[in-house]
Structure formats: structure tokens, C-alpha cells
Amino acid sequence: MDLTEKMISRKDLYDGLLCRVHVDEVLLPNGNTSRREVVDHVDGVAVLPLDERNNVLTVTQYRYVFGKTLLEIPAGKLDEGEDPVTGALRELKEETGFVAGRIAYLTTIATSGGFTDELIHIYLATQLSFEGAQPDEDEFLNVEKHSLETLTDMVMAGEIDDAKTIIAVLKARRFLEAEGWREKF
């Protein structure tokens, strides 16, 4: 069965800095119609920075929409036309002050395909050296170090809420446990 939904009409509702919102009327595979509320969102990047002792640099920042701080890996939106690797390295330096000698692609995730087209490209960074943080003027965060083992335990215990961080920790763990990972990296 062809599962494709075809747009019949679109109504634009909002055009902001990070996203645009529209409502589409679509034709369903069975011939009926339905509405789709869509958020077109700028794509993002995230990076799991791993030092030589298997410690991960994380950031803790207040997330207004949740009303609390979240433990996360460094991440942010891509600038227009920016390559994801360049964006990941930029976000790492801005948020933690560290630069990476090596970077490896882990995965790209669709954050919530039911209503947004946002993708986040996730990387593993190693061979870290400190140069100094340059956070955005409206960005307030604390940089912390946690062992990859501790973060894995926190993920499995449900102590980390941030999806990109959960995925990055588990993907990095599997990547680093795989035979021959050094040759791939």
C-alpha cells in the first residue's frame, strides 16, 4: 500500500527566527482528508565530546519550556548553509571552550516526525584541547564532566531527559565497543 499523503492546501500561521508553522490539508491513502499541523524547524547538531579518560563534557542549562535544568551534550542550531561537521565543532567550542582533533559521525535523528521536520546530526569528538568558551549572549550553562559509564547508567535509570543526549550516549558507547572502531575514526 502506498502510504503517501498529498498536500491539498497550506495555511501559513507563523514565521519566526527558529521555525515556521503552517497547517496543511492532506489527502490520505484511503481518499479521506486530514489536517497536519507542521513546524518547519532549523536543523541542528549535537556533539559528544570524549576526553582521553572516557569522560564526556556535558552542559547543564535551564530549559524554559520544561521549567528546569537539563543535562545535555553541547548542541545548537545550524547557521544557514552551514555544514553539520562545522556546526558541531562550532557548538563544541562555543559551549565548552574545547576544540576537537577528531570527529566522527554517529547518526542523524528526526526529533519528532509527527509535527516537525527538524533533524539533529550527532557526532563524537575526541582529542580535545581547551581554547576558551564563547557562549551566545543569551546562553547560560554550566560545563561538567561525567564518565561515559556514569552517563550510560544515568540514561538507563531514566535520569537524563534530553533525547539527543540519550541517543548520543548509547550510540557512542556502541561505537567505541565495536571491533575496529579506531580504523573507522
For the annotated catalytic residues, the residue numbers are 137
Measured in whole angstroms, the distance separating CA 34 from the mean position of its chain's CA atoms is 30
Kindly state the cell numbers that stand for 41: 524547524
CB 9 within 8 A of CB 34: no
Sheet (strand 19-27) strand order: 6-15, 19-27, 33-41
Query: Whole-angstrom Cα distance, residue 117 to residue 100?
Result: 29
Using the 8-state DSSP alphabet, how is residue 31 labeled?
A: S
